[in-house]
């Protein structure tokens, strides 16, 4: 009996090896030499007698999963997520709201009313597709171009605009540049400018959640194709895999890192190809297709809660400029931008899908856009009237308790302002 089990185990093993060899495209001539497997601790691999270097063409290109076509038609009905009407409408309205906010805040930066802004044009599908597949308790680590996720979660336009103005109602107390949002209440970790630093942090947070008894939360970490070149990205992938963390690494591959096209960012098959190399379950999706993103994230969340990290590469196109400090026509053709605006807009795709379902029409659209615009304009007018926080907030929160050295500096500044207040814009700041 024991012998038979042994034999069947050997057979099973050789079958597994055969299957693995067929599934890669390295085609080692393993059967010529008996197909023996090495005992090197670093890799359980077969020996071959033919020397063959692998390159980026050694593997099939990772396909892009999509659910709808550009007309909002479901391609394979089995893949329709059949999301309920309320959720679908929330997804769509969030996209419209985001797009209107982007338009108005971008313009307000051009007029000098806020110092800086970054739009989300072309990537709204990634935001709402992923946000709708997560629990609101899942922890979000973002890069900076994920505001749709925050809106979907319930952060208000008021909160976002207050941050951009740095007024006293900004929970960040006006310390960071615009678009560096964060909300403890909505489980959105405050954004920082250094790229990819949030990635190993997301993995650490996921490890902490994993250790909570009966954990039902995961972490999602958003990053761009450029940030994926940082050392922290490699650290994050490798730590996530070796430490079995419940984390979804969500790459927004929009083709550009400021002016740098992906051809100058990497030579492999995008970011997705790095996932399997590090032992991470990986999928590539059409980021302009909110339903495809939703399906991928929903499945990824199940895997993550089983402590299997997942990498998702959502393909998209950065329709807007990198930021208000950038004119992207200096490094890419206008026709290219227009193609993605007109033909592959994630907002348009979801609208067509909703219209086919009978959930949406031209009137609803008109009203939704108007409401979204009015909300932003009204909020901006209110935000502009609010003063900035008291200057002493500049010295708070460095440490949990203010050390004596910093108290001394606060006293110095206080005395200075008593004598020279006329040289400072004190009237724009709160008083005691």
Partner 1 sequence: MASWLTRKSIIVGKLTKYVNDCTKRLSSHFIYYPDNEKPVAGETIKMNMMQAINNAMDITLRDDPTAVLFGEDVAFGGVFRCALGLQDKYGKDRVFNTPLCEQGIAGFGIGLATAGATAIAEIQFADYIFPAFDQLVNEAAKARYRSGGQFDAGALTVRTPCGAVGHGGLYHSQSPEAYFAHTPGLRVVMPRGPITAKGLLLSCIRERDPCIFLEPKILYRSAAEEVPVEDYTLPLGKAQVLREGDAATLIAWGTQVHVLLEVAQMAEEKLGVKCDVIDLMSILPWDEETVCNSVKKTGRCLIAHEAPLTSGFGAELAATIQEECFLHLEAPITRVTGWDTPFPHVFEPFYLPDKWRCYSALSKLIEY
Among residues 29, 56, 107, 414, the one annotated as catalytic is: 107
The least CB distance from residue 161 to partner 1, in Å, is 16
The least CB distance from residue 228 to partner 1, in Å, is 15
* Unique residue bearing structure tokens 């959640």: 209
**C-beta of 110 vs 175, nearer to partner 1:** 175
Print the SS3 string covering the chain: CHHHHHHHHHHHHHHHHHHHHHHCCCCCCHHHHCCCECCCCCCCCECCCCCCCCCCCCCCCCCCECCECCCCCECCHHHCCCCCHHHHHHHHHHHHHHHHHHHHHHHHHHCCCCCCCCCCCCCHHHHHHHHCCCCCCCEEECCCCCHHHHHHHCCCHHHHHHHHHCCCCCCCCCCCCCCCCCECCCCEECCCCCCCCHHHHHHHHHHHHHCCCCCCCCEEEEEECCHHHCHHHHHHHHHHHHCCCCEEEEEEECCEECCEEHHHCCCCCCCCCHHHHCCCEEEEEECCCHHHHHHHHHHHHHHHHCCCCEEEEEECCCCCCCCCCCCHHHCCCHHHHHHHHHCCCHHHHHHHHHHHHCCCCHHHHHHHHHHHHHHHHHHHHHHHHCCECCHHHHHCCCCCCCCHHHHHHHHHHHHHHHHHHHHCCHHHECCC
The least CB distance from residue 189 to partner 1, in Å, is 6
**C-beta of 189 vs 315, nearer to partner 1:** 189
Binding mask 156-195 for partner 1 (x = CB under 8 A): --------------xxxx-xx---x-xxx----xx-x-x-
Taking a C-beta distance cutoff of 8 angstroms, is the pair 240, 263 a contact?
no
Binding mask 216-235 for partner 1 (x = CB under 8 A): ---x-----------xx-xx
Options 208, 264, 329, 366; binder of partner 1; rule CB under 8 A: 208
**C-beta of 294 vs 308, nearer to partner 1:** 308
The least CB distance from residue 403 to partner 1, in Å, is 4
Options 205, 280, 296, 304; binder of partner 1; rule CB under 8 A: 205
Options 202, 249, 272, 368; binder of partner 1; rule CB under 8 A: 202
Binding mask 240-259 for partner 1 (x = CB under 8 A): --xx----------------
**C-beta of 37 vs 243, nearer to partner 1:** 243
Taking a C-beta distance cutoff of 8 angstroms, is the pair 270, 311 a contact?
no
Among residues 14, 38, 135, 193, the one annotated as catalytic is: 193
* 397 part of the interface to partner 1, by CB under 8 A: yes
Among residues 183, 322, 344, 345, the one annotated as catalytic is: 322
Size of the site for partner 1 (CB under 8 A): 48
Options 207, 222, 256, 429; binder of partner 1; rule CB under 8 A: 207
Rounded Cα distance between 395 and 310, Å, is 40
**C-beta of 161 vs 368, nearer to partner 1:** 161
Query: Looking only at Cα atoms, what is the longest distance across the chain?
Result: 95
Among residues 316, 323, 328, 345, the one annotated as catalytic is: 323
* Unique residue bearing structure tokens 């110095």: 412
Site for partner 1 in 106-145 (CB under 8 A): 139, 141
**C-beta of 21 vs 305, nearer to partner 1:** 305
Catalytic residue flag (residue 405): no
- Closest of 367, 372, 430 to residue 167, by C-alpha: 430
The least CB distance from residue 322 to partner 1, in Å, is 21
The least CB distance from residue 245 to partner 1, in Å, is 9
Catalytic residue flag (residue 322): yes
The least CB distance from residue 429 to partner 1, in Å, is 16
**C-beta of 59 vs 168, nearer to partner 1:** 168
- Closest of 96, 409, 138, 414 to residue 297, by C-alpha: 138
**C-beta of 27 vs 175, nearer to partner 1:** 175
Site for partner 1 in 28-47 (CB under 8 A): none
The least CB distance from residue 195 to partner 1, in Å, is 10
Active site residues: 107, 193, 322-323
Q: Which residues lie near partner 1 (CB under 8 A)?
A: 139, 141, 170-173, 175-176, 180, 182-184, 189-190, 192, 194, 197, 199-209, 211, 219, 231-232, 234-236, 238-239, 242-243, 396-400, 403-406
């Amino acid at each position: 009996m024991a012998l038979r089990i042994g034999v069947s185990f050997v057979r099973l093993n050789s079958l597994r090896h055969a299957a693995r060899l067929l599934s890669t495209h390295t085609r080692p001539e393993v059967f010529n030499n008996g197909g023996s497997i090495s005992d090197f601790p670093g890799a359980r691999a077969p020996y071959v007698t033919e020397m063959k270097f692998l390159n980026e063409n050694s593997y099939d290109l990772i396909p892009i999963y999509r659910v709808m076509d550009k007309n909002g038609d479901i391609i394979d009905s089995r893949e329709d997520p059949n999301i309920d009407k309320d959720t679908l409408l929330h997804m769509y309205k969030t996209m419209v709201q985001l797009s209107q906010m982007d338009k108005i805040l971008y313009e307000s930066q051009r007029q000098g009313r806020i110092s800086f802004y970054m739009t989300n044009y072309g990537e709204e599908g990634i935001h709402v597709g992923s946000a709708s597949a997560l629990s609101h308790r899942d922890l979000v680590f973002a890069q900076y171009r994920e505001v749709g996720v925050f809106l979907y979660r319930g952060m208000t336009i008021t909160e976002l605009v207050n941050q951009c103005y740095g007024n006293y109602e900004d929970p960040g107390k006006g310390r960071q540049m615009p678009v560096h949002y964060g909300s403890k209440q909505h489980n959105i970790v405050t954004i920082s400018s250094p790229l990819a630093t949030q990635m190993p942090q997301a993995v650490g947070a996921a490890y902490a959640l994993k250790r909570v008894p009966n954990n039902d939360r995961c972490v999602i970490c958003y990053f761009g194709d450029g940030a994926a070149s940082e050392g922290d990205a490699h650290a994050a992938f490798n730590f996530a895999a070796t430490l079995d963390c419940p984390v979804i690494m969500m790459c927004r591959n929009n083709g550009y890192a400021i002016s740098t096209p992906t051809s100058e960012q990497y030579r492999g098959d995008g970011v997705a190809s790095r996932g399997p190399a590090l032992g991470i379950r990986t999928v590539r999706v059409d980021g302009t297709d909110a339903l495809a993103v939703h399906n991928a994230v929903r499945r990824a969340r199940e895997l993550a809660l089983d402590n299997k990290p997942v990498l998702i590469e959502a393909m998209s196109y950065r329709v807007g400029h990198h930021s208000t400090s950038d004119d992207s026509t200096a490094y890419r053709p206008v026709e290219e931008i227009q193609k993605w605006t007109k033909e592959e807009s994630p907002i348009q795709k979801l609208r067509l899908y909703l219209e086919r379902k009978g959930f949406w029409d031209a009137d609803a659209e008109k009203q939704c856009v108007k409401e979204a615009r009015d909300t932003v304009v009204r909020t901006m007018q209110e935000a502009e009237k609010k003063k900035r926080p008291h200057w002493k907030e500049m010295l708070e929160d460095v440490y949990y308790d203010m050390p004596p050295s910093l108290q001394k500096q606060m006293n110095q500044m206080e005395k200075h302002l008593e004598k020279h207040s006329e040289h400072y814009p004190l009237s724009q700041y709160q008083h005691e």
